Amino acid sequence: MYFGESLLTGGFTAVNCNNYKNFEAGRCDKNKVSYIGRMDLDKGARGRYYLNTASTAPFSVR
């Protein structure tokens, strides 16, 4: 479901962050982002990427 939605909406935005606790606290908001489900996937992206999703469709949260 996520992948299908990503094709229709332009993808999900994930943020590079060292851990989920820091991501949730907003400490990584200015870090590099990667777009999941887009054709221009950043193949050089390394590290841990986190994103929020909604509990029901549409799942993408911007």
Q: Which two tokens stand for residue 55?
A: 């509990």
Domains in the chain: boundaries: 2-50
Query: What is the pLDDT at residue 32?
Result: 96
Q: Which two tokens stand for residue 7?
A: 């094709």
Query: What is the pLDDT at residue 60?
Result: 87
Coil, strand or helix at 49: strand
Coil, strand or helix at 6: helix
**Residue given tokens 């777009």 in the structure block:** 35
Residue range 5-14: average pLDDT? Answer: 83
Is the pLDDT confidence value at 15 over 80? yes
- The predicted model scores a pTM of 0.80
What is the identity of the amino acid at 56?
T
Query: What is the pLDDT at residue 31?
Result: 98
